[in-house]
Structure 1
Amino acid sequence: MNNGLHKLQKPPRVKRTIGIGFPFNISFMEKKTGERDSKENQIRSFDDGERTPWLSARTESYEKYVNSTYAYVIKETEEPIQEASKLLTELNTILGTAPLSFDGDDEESIRQRRLEAARQTKRDERKEELLIKLTEIKEFIENADEKLLHHIEMAGNILSVHTSNYWRGILKVSGADVRTVTPVLEFGDFEGRIKYEERKKILISRIDQALERGGCADEKDE
């Protein structure tokens, strides 16, 4: 099982501003960009605050990055999700198989009871193996989810820092003409998150139900 999720272990790469590839002070450049945009009357007022083309470009970049990150995690978790689906099918088959009953004291009935007991032992052993594997997959998905949320939070923090640098330039030039101390960042629906959350919710629910049926419910729920 792939448990690296290497992209989530690296700092988010959110597009910032012109000059990112140059050996200049980024915060200084962003502030200067804000001053320039203010002087060039790039500020547009809305009911909830002011926006500029620079802000719109940054929010668009952030949305694309977040959606691409969700798409990355969906791709990286596809294999364990497919494995979980197969394991769940097998487990449900085992849990739905009732032991065969053979009455009588004749030699054939005794032989069949012994064979069925051996088959049931193998089913029980396989059930335990499946429960362990499903628990591991659930832990992997939950760990990936934790890393994903942390990574996106870091990306949001980066966006906030660079937006703050930019807005200081706006305030320096516009001053009292700007109603908001911090600009409004308006985001659309994160389609990647919607798809990811739906897949995760369905999978975790199916695994939890299977673990409960198999007698492997979390101790905290007991």
Structure 2
Amino acid sequence: MNEKKTTHFGFEEVAVDEKAGRVADVFHSVAAKYDVMNDLMSGGIHRLWKRFTIEVSAVRSGHKVLDIAGGTGDLSYQFAKRVGSDGLVVLADINESMLNVGRDRLIDRGVAGNIQFAQADAQYLPFPDNTFDCITIAFGLRNVTDKDLALRAMLRVLKPGGRLLVLEFSKPQNSLLEKVYDTYSFKVLPLMGRLITNDADSYRYLAESIRMHPDQATLKAMMEDAGFVNTEYHNMTGGIVALHKGIKP
């Protein structure tokens, strides 16, 4: 008899075919207040992390950019201004609620002309080979069931010489900071989630999913195994967040 394959949903073990639905429920629940919670949780610092990601991307006029797990459109908005009318930004998210919030926000900000929207799974990207100059995935990779499969999919749709940027929570590099961060994550975040979104469980999952995500060196090795070259990472805020970069050969 074959055993049913399992994966982690936070600290919980679930069947592989159940994880995507469980993650979807989390983001359906928090979509409307997602940006408010991001500002509160990070003290606004997430905007600096994203600004650094934009700079490292080296995106310029005429480029094609894929913003995976693009959610409410923070990165897509900045990329749209950089690629101009000759370029294209595709905001992709597996979650319909998040995608709808992102679409509405970008239309309200007047930047819909060079942006397309796609409800897409990072593991099975519905785009031709060698399409994009740059791919970003910000705070989304830890929610993907098969990260290796997703990294290979991203490599496939990048153009040769194109770059992948993975912005994600990671492992603090200082033991004291790690203790403070743990207390904040497991005590304060669920409380904030309950007060702001009436949903403590989703933010408890957030904290757990961060702890289950590969650390900096492990993710770098995973990108290399997927076929990326010149991989490197930059720690920010003491390693609470890291930006990984890889190039398609």
For the superposition of Structure 1 and Structure 2, which TM-score range results when normalised by the shorter chain?
under 0.3
* TM-score calculated relative to the size of structure 2: 0.22
* Greater C-alpha radius of gyration: 1
Q: TM-score, normalising length from structure 1?
A: 0.24
Name whichever structure is richer in helix by fraction.
Answer: 1
The answer to which structure has the higher strand fraction is 2
